[in-house]
Amino acid sequence: MKNLEVTQIKEIVDCMYPEEYKTGSIIIREGDVGSTVYVLEEGCVEVSRENKFLSTLTPGKVLGELAILYNCKRTATIKAATDCKLWAIERQCFQTIMMRTGLIRQAEYTDFLKSVPIFKDLPEDTLIKISDVLEETFYANGDYIIRQGARGDTFFIISKGTVKVTMKMPNSNEEKFIRTLGKGDFFGEKALQGDDLRTANIIVDDPDGVSALVIDRETFNQLISNLDEIKSKYKDEVLDRRRLDQEFENVTLSDLKILTTLGVGGFGRVELVQIHGRPSKSYALKQMKKAQIVETRQQQHIMSEKEIMGEANCDFIVKLYKTFKDERYLYMLMESCLGGELWTVLRDRTHFDDATTRFYTACVVEAFDYLHSRNIIYRDLKPENLLLDNQGYVKLVDFGFAKKLQTGRKTWTFCGTPEYVAPEVILNKGHDISADYWSLGVLMFELLTGAPPFAGTDPMKTYNIILKGIDAIDFPRNITRNAMVLIKKLCRDNPAERLGYQKGGISDIRKHKWFDGFNWEGLVNRTLTPPILPKVESVTDTSNFDKYPVDEDGPPPEDTSGWDSAF
């Protein structure tokens, strides 16, 4: 909450409503799904977990704060120890405020930028990127924002208040008044173009002070590039995709023979299957319980996963061949990768060396290049979602959180694994593909050390560690200097400062010193020998996967509401 702006806090307070609880009443029950956050105004409450007393909370404390971020089960029980008065707010209301204020601010900033000659011809998505890095800075009455003759590399737009422009005339010590500037006016634009000698004084002339939006030359230059270059890298993929679709056109659910379980996910199991009459190949069948999808309100995510994977045709992304559905389940028939999860290999080896980490990171970079060039954000990078194919190459799987964005736009949905979530996601500021570069840095750290850099005993503690930033993290000695520099460049707090998101795009990552000498062409052409070669004896060999017990839950409830008609 301490990261909120004053206008956001005011709107949130206006949305809150009072609730009163008598002594002994349960305010939050462990295990319940919650969407309400409370602030305690009067009284005190007791916190317990599994019937064990943990602590007493007094007025001013926030209760159930995880619910403000996402739909989750309560991790503790909170009971009124005395008569209590609380103020409550629903997640939907909070997130609507955050999204609306974010969009309003973005629109206001881009409008300011459009009035500046050097910005007016830039594409909309570039203006949005610049608006994201503008820092609002306050100056008190009488402050010199710019001094004549000084060197500077900063550009300013006034967002509130007035300044006066003065100039010292030749052969005189007096400052001559030139004009007054107010909201929407700008100065210092020449500094962005390299002319850094200030030609006048800019002095705050407002009893309430001045607020200005500020950007420096380095940040500006990192963001500006020729964004009209259109990638033609994957021009043949539509044709390849059609061939795939035709190959599975007549396959039905009854044609599939289940062999064994490869994994268990949030909505069901992933089974290794074969198609009758095709003994030389095997596939992965992801089964998802429809009732559970509806209960957790994940319908849109599942439909998005089907759409994105169904269109994707990349060697570093697991292929989706066909989907099926019945009254109880949705099914996705996918490429089988029998090398197992990268997480399992990491667990068994405890950590990877530089060369091994470099290879797997490069595979993810190729997958991200494919997705990001199509404005698709992945949002769920972690070792569990990286599968080794039979040759040892890594592929992205599980696109439940992936989303196609409009050019230059953001999304506000809170999702992802706590240890991998970017700061702007936690702060509800809106996020885009830059959040994937943050997670790439986290992945590198985990592969090199065996554990992610940001980890607390519960999600909220993890989020607070993330908000302290990567510079607060101690790097083990086994991480080389170049690897550390790359991780820190990927995990910048400001999304616009992250390597991969600047004007050079994802190529900046490929060109980083840590990748010096790496054979990118060999990776793409699959002529590079992977660092770990999985043992796969046959198309039905599941020895690289953990063993799972038989599902004894019985069939899930039917769902015939029709929300999945397009699946």
Residues labelled as active-site residues: 380
Q: Could you please report the per-residue DSSP string of 349-408?
A: HSS--HHHHHHHHHHHHHHHHHHHTTTEE----SGGGEEE-TTS-EEE---TT-EEPPTT
Nearest one of 140, 150, 144, 267 to 197, comparing CA atoms = 150
Q: Which amino acid is at 444?
A: M
Separation CA 342–CA 348 (nearest Å): 10
Asked if residue 79 lies in contact with residue 64, where contact means CB atoms within 8 angstroms, the answer is: no
Question: 263 labelled as ligand-binding?
Answer: yes
Q: How many CA atoms lie within 13 A of 89 on its CB side?
A: 22
Give the three-state DSSP class for 301: helix
Separation CA 224–CA 118 (nearest Å): 11
Exposed, middle or buried: residue 32 (CB in 10 Å: 0-12, 13-18, 19+)?
Answer: exposed
Question: 164 labelled as ligand-binding?
Answer: no
**Dihedral class, residue 321 (left if φ above 0, else alpha if ψ from -120 to 50, else beta):** alpha
Nearest one of 166, 206, 201, 200 to 182, comparing CA atoms = 206
Question: 194 labelled as ligand-binding?
Answer: no
Separation CA 273–CA 261 (nearest Å): 9
Nearest one of 522, 493, 536, 525 to 3, comparing CA atoms = 493
Q: Which amino acid is at 132?
A: D
Q: Could you please report the per-residue DSSP string of 305-321?
A: HHHHHHH---TTBPPEE
Instruction: Identify how many contiguous H helices and E strands the chain contains and give both numbers.
Output: 15, 28
Give the three-state DSSP class for 245: helix
Question: 188 labelled as ligand-binding?
Answer: no
**Chain-centre distance of CA 559, in angstroms?**
31
Question: 267 labelled as ligand-binding?
Answer: yes
| DSSP state for residue 418 in the 8-state scheme | G
Structure tokens at 263: 């994994």
CA dihedral 268, 269, 270, 276 (to 10 degrees): -110
Question: 264 labelled as ligand-binding?
Answer: yes
| DSSP state for residue 431 in the 8-state scheme | B
Separation CA 409–CA 424 (nearest Å): 14
Helix (H) or strand (E) run with residue 289 in it: strand 283-289
Give the three-state DSSP class for 164: strand
Separation CA 448–CA 503 (nearest Å): 28
Question: 342 labelled as ligand-binding?
Answer: no
Can you say which residues are annotated as belonging to the binding site for ATP?
A: 262-270, 286
Can you say which residues are annotated as belonging to the binding site?
A: 262-270, 286
